[in-house]
Structure 1
Amino acid sequence: MTRRIDCDVAIIGGGLVGSSAALALRGMGFSVTLLDKGFCGAQASGVNYGGVRRQGRPPEQLPLSQRAHAIWPRLKALIGIDGEFLRSGHLKLARSAADMASLESYAADVAPFGLALELVGHNQLRDRFGVAGEVIGGSFCPGDGHANPRLVATAFAAAARRAGAEVLENTKVIGLTRNGAGFALEAEGVSVTARTVINSAGAWADSFARAFGEPVPLERTYPSMVVTEPLDPFLGVNIGIEGGGIYARQVTRGNVVVGGERALPLDDPDYSRPRSDGVLTIMQRASELFGPLRHAQAIRFWSGTEATMPDRNPVIGPSATTPGLIHAFGFSGAGFQIAPGVGEVLAELVRDGRTATPIDVFAITRFPPASQPGDASQAAMTTGSKETSP
């Protein structure tokens, strides 16, 4: 028997963006149904590196990032746990004079946003942060930090459920149709009608956008991470490198999480497998910077599926073809920190049709529209596409 639900807002994808939007919408009094093909927070939101950083983001993302920055210290009051959030600071390293010049230029460009970046030289890196290896300087953002994505992603969904949202896991959306003043969603064992739909389906969001005449050049990428055995404390900050290649953080228990390589997709591109040579490369790079890692045992490694856009900016905002459809996907490996802010913005778009946080640059219209006959607002998506979260 098919269960029938009528609600104000249906959200496709139960990752951190979708679940934080559900929680914010419940706080505004909307009825919400949150659907995920698997378990909420089990995809990119729960398997990412866990960096909570503003530094290194393009300036156009910083108003949204600053909004999220104010939410992270309030996690326990908001979702019931602190998510192991530590405001450790984020240190971005430069390996060459050109890299250092890039960090200096970035610091000047983002000065109006209040990140309080501090440029540090080689000796300070060694004395203050214990960084060795061939690095010549860095940029330190004291207000940034890191958290445990496995805890945070699931806790937002649980908080939304406690707040009264209908959270449906293992419920794959197989049909989405705009009809009349709202939408009809067909899923496994459930039929949902909603006035508004939020497409926060992560690496699977492009299928929903395409169905309504808004194709996007979304690419799936598969970041790979490693965690070591517990070690004595030696790394007090979240580490990144200008130009990429490695990122690392040490948690309170002593384990060190290291990333910077890509995994290989399996025959089913929903899944991937870390490469053994990639794991070795990650650990070798990290041990060149931090002596305690040279003999550390790697106890687990994993990967996930990310939605990456060619300009590295997400798609956030109303559909240009279909009233009542709102997109939020394509965070290109940098969605963890800003997701709680995105959830609030999405709730404001539903309630007010606008938000004070600048998001115009993230509009889906920056990509060429589809050349499709007929009225895209009446389109139906019935391909059985899979959805999850960014």
Structure 2
Amino acid sequence: MTRLIADVAVLGGGLIGSWTAYFLARRGKRVVLIEKGVVGAQSSGTNFGNLRLQGRFPGQYPLSLRAQDLWERLEDLIGDSCEFDATGHLYCAFDEAERDKIDHYAEVSESYGIRIEHLDRAQLKRRFPWLGRKVIAATYSARDATANPRLVTPAVARVAKSLGVTVVEHCAVREVRKSGDTFHVDTDTDLQVECGHVVNAAGAWALEFAERFGETAPLFPAGPPQFVTEPFPYFITPSVQTVDGSVIARQIPRGNVILAGYPRTAADPILNRAPVPPVKTLAAMECLAEVVPALRSCHVIRVWSGIEGYLPDMLPVIGQSETTPGLIHAFGFCGHGFQIGPGVGLCLSEIIVDGHTETPLSPFAIGRFQQEIEVSDKFKREFDAVRKTP
């Protein structure tokens, strides 16, 4: 058996865990990052790569803006831009009810100092003539951006390792227990870590660790279907998203179009599989052709997904355990974790090192599930769709 003494054990080598380890190492903490597979293999590395500010839960904006500042300094932080690109983001409406939604989202964004442009059909035709006639209005946020999720988490983990973090891959955590002020983390590779803090950033697998300490959440696994087309002449500069989520698309300078075709698909965290049914690919491309008619003839060349955790209010769990001092949770990001990832890692490092963070995290407390919560309409739609997935 190999025994390591550390200040913090981070369970899960996704974006959240890797950023947390990185910021802790910068504060001089001894960290062991444990990943059951390879770093960034699940939703952290297989998501759309959207760094979207507009349209977020209002209580998340302080965290989201803090994260965006870190994204904008990514190359200074880790020495790699990871294809960060301030593309801007178009939020598109198909009817007046959806126009009201994006106008409301914009008002919330603007209240936090984010500049939003409100565009009608005539303005869209002048600035983005490639949009289909189905789009009657849109809001545009120039600060929104994208990055390559396949590159980011491994890059952050590499820098964390250079700062002294012990990164252990292909190592599943079997037991976490606490004796006095010390946590004991046992794994299937005979590695044992003794530490003062544990960060539960295990994604769709996080619930088993929370429940060992008397806490729970109604987490369920699903996969975000993702597609990429063959290269096409480059003409779409911003990310494009519809209010109903049927189209979330961006074109990279090489010409390929990346598309997220929601609703999500079923996922199996036990078998570690998140297959994408062909019918979803066809439906997503049909929707894309309505929004961007010029892409009607594009061919899909690859389809993929990952496994991520969802919660009924479509908000993550972030913050200290309410039963066990030294245990910190960060899971259930509901498809929104890529943008806030570095901000979450920074906040968790502050909680561990300083005992608190100035960024408000109370809406994300795990204790909220001890009482009845309001179930998101989006969750209801997604959950029904996942259950019906063939």
Give the structure-1-normalised TM-score: 0.92
Displacement, 1:268?
A: 4.2
**Further displaced range: 12-21 or 153-162:** 153-162
2:279 equivalent in structure 1? 277
Letter in 1 for 2:302: R
Conservation of the 8 A alpha-carbon contact between 1:125 and 1:132: no
2:251 equivalent in structure 1? 250
Residue 114 (str. 1) matches residue 92 (str. 2): no
Cα separation, 2, equivalents of 1:352 and 1:368: 28
Give the structure-2-normalised TM-score: 0.92
- 1:195-206 map, 5 Å: 195-206=196-207
Cα separation, 1, equivalents of 2:194 and 2:26: 21
**Further displaced range: 357-366 or 286-295:** 286-295
Cα separation, 1, equivalents of 2:268 and 2:39: 22
Cα separation, 1, equivalents of 2:370 and 2:326: 21
1:337 equivalent in structure 2? 339
Displacement, 1:291?
A: 2.5
Conservation of the 8 A alpha-carbon contact between 1:246 and 1:282: yes
Give unmatched runs, 5+ long, in structure 1. 370-390
2:319 equivalent in structure 1? 317
Structure 1 residues 15-68: Cα deviation after superposition (integer angstroms, max 9, x where no partner): 010000101000000000000000010111000011011111111111000000
Displacement, 1:189?
A: 2.4
Which aligned runs of 4 or more in structure 1 are off by greater than 4 angstroms?
Answer: 266-269
Residue 174 (str. 1) matches residue 174 (str. 2): yes
1:73 equivalent in structure 2? 72
Give unmatched runs, 5+ long, in structure 2. 372-390
Alignment RMSD: 1.2
Displacement, 1:307?
A: 0.6
2:353 equivalent in structure 1? 351
Secondary structure of the residue that 2:272 maps to in structure 1?
coil
1:126 equivalent in structure 2? 125
Displacement, 1:266?
A: 5.3
Compared with structure 1, are the counterparts of its residues 71 and 267 closer, same or farther at alpha carbon in structure 2 (3 Å cutoff)?
A: closer
Cα separation, 2, equivalents of 1:190 and 1:315: 28
Compared with structure 1, are the counterparts of its residues 62 and 185 closer, same or farther at alpha carbon in structure 2 (3 Å cutoff)?
A: same
Letter in 2 for 1:151: L
Conservation of the 8 A alpha-carbon contact between 2:56 and 2:105: no
**Further displaced range: 98-107 or 260-269:** 260-269
Letter in 2 for 1:158: R
Displacement, 1:269?
A: 4.8
Structure 1 residues 212-240: Cα deviation after superposition (integer angstroms, max 9, x where no partner): 11010011111101101111112100111
Secondary structure of the residue that 2:135 maps to in structure 1?
coil
Cα separation, 2, equivalents of 1:43 and 1:311: 22
Cα separation, 1, equivalents of 2:180 and 2:108: 47
Instruction: Among all aligned residue pairs of Structure 1 and Structure 2, give the percentage whose two residues are the same amino acid.
Output: 42
Compared with structure 1, are the counterparts of its residues 266 and 335 closer, same or farther at alpha carbon in structure 2 (3 Å cutoff)?
A: closer
Conservation of the 8 A alpha-carbon contact between 1:122 and 1:135: yes
Secondary structure of the residue that 2:65 maps to in structure 1?
helix
Q: Which one has more relative contact order, counting CA pairs under 8 Å at least 6 apart?
A: 1
Conservation of the 8 A alpha-carbon contact between 1:64 and 1:338: yes
Cα separation, 2, equivalents of 1:97 and 1:13: 43
Secondary structure of the residue that 2:33 maps to in structure 1?
strand
Cα separation, 2, equivalents of 1:350 and 1:287: 48
Letter in 2 for 1:192: V
